[in-house]
Structure 1
Amino acid sequence: MAQDRPTASELLAAIADFLREEATPALDKAEPRLGFQMRVAVNSLAILEREARLGPDADAAEQARLAKLLGRDGTLDELNRELARQLRTGQRDERDATLMTHLDATIADKIAIANPKWR
């Protein structure tokens, strides 16, 4: 991992800013279809930037919540598979307040990455 600046997150943000502020308006005038596709690409870059910046902390928090909820340690994937198994078998459901708190927090973190303007 690079220790110098700009960071990966800063580079992604700079690329997205350039494409949004300079390239997209030019494409909108010359070729509207490409302007639309550029906006989709810019939004994708913005998601990648937020994922690079927010994802590690969100994953760590989700893993910690799952470990507490399930009463065991494991990787994030292992813990999510165990939770899914418990949901499928009826061991847990929406009446479990701790589960619902975990799901609310996990969804909020994912939305903050995918579309922070949603809330």
Structure 2
Amino acid sequence: MQDEPTPAELAKAVADFLRNDIAPLISGHQGFKLRVGINALDLVARQLTSAEQGEAAELARLKALLAADGSLSDLNRALADKIASGAMDLSTPGLKEHLWQTTLDKLAVDQPNYASYRREAGRTDGDA
């Protein structure tokens, strides 16, 4: 076990420093590039803290959907092959739900402020 701060905490601290202390001092193209860097650090921090849980859930769903074992990338490739060949489609039990949940889990890391994601993530199972 590593001592604190964690890599996610370090990335967040650097992003916060740049956002709060440096960004107000820079404008124009350099300011834009700084915001891109801040967004990249924010993404790294979210990946370090949130992506593992989503990937574990995705792997479990893939194993159940395909009735197979393997790595996340191998099972995703197998699923893509089955969809491409027509062996699976949205009428396949569980496929639509898997694809939707995988999309939401990825957006939670990649684009958590995306308005459509926030709307969909806020829905409960009974919402339609």
Aligned partner of 1:3 in structure 2 is 2
Q: How do 1:40-79 and structure 2 match up within 5 A?
A: 40-79=36-75
Whole-Å separation in 2 of the counterparts to 1:16 and 1:45: 6
TM-score, normalised relative to structure 2 = 0.86
Quote how far apart the aligned CAs of 1:4 are.
1.1
Where do 5+ consecutive residues of structure 2 fail to align?
119-128
Quote how far apart the aligned CAs of 1:96 are.
2.4
> Is it true that 1:110 corresponds to 2:109 in the alignment?
no
Higher-RCO chain (CA-CA 8 Å, sequence separation at least 6): 1
Aligned partner of 1:21 in structure 2 is 20
Q: How many residues align?
A: 115
Whole-Å separation in 2 of the counterparts to 1:90 and 1:21: 51
Q: Which runs of 4+ in 1 moved over 3 A?
A: none
Whole-Å separation in 1 of the counterparts to 2:93 and 2:10: 41
Aligned partner of 2:126 in structure 1 is none
Whole-Å separation in 2 of the counterparts to 1:59 and 1:25: 36
Quote how far apart the aligned CAs of 1:3 are.
1.9
Instruction: State the superposition RMSD in angstroms.
Output: 1.0
Q: Deviations over 1:36-69 (max 9, x none)?
A: 1101110111011100101111111110000000
Aligned partner of 1:99 in structure 2 is 95
Quote how far apart the aligned CAs of 1:97 are.
4.1
Q: What percentage of aligned pairs have identical amino acids?
A: 41
Q: Deviations over 1:49-90 (max 9, x none)?
A: 100101111111110000000001110011001001100100
Whole-Å separation in 2 of the counterparts to 1:19 and 1:47: 14
AA aligned opposite 2:19: R
Whole-Å separation in 2 of the counterparts to 1:60 and 1:4: 25
SS of the residue 1:91 aligns to: coil
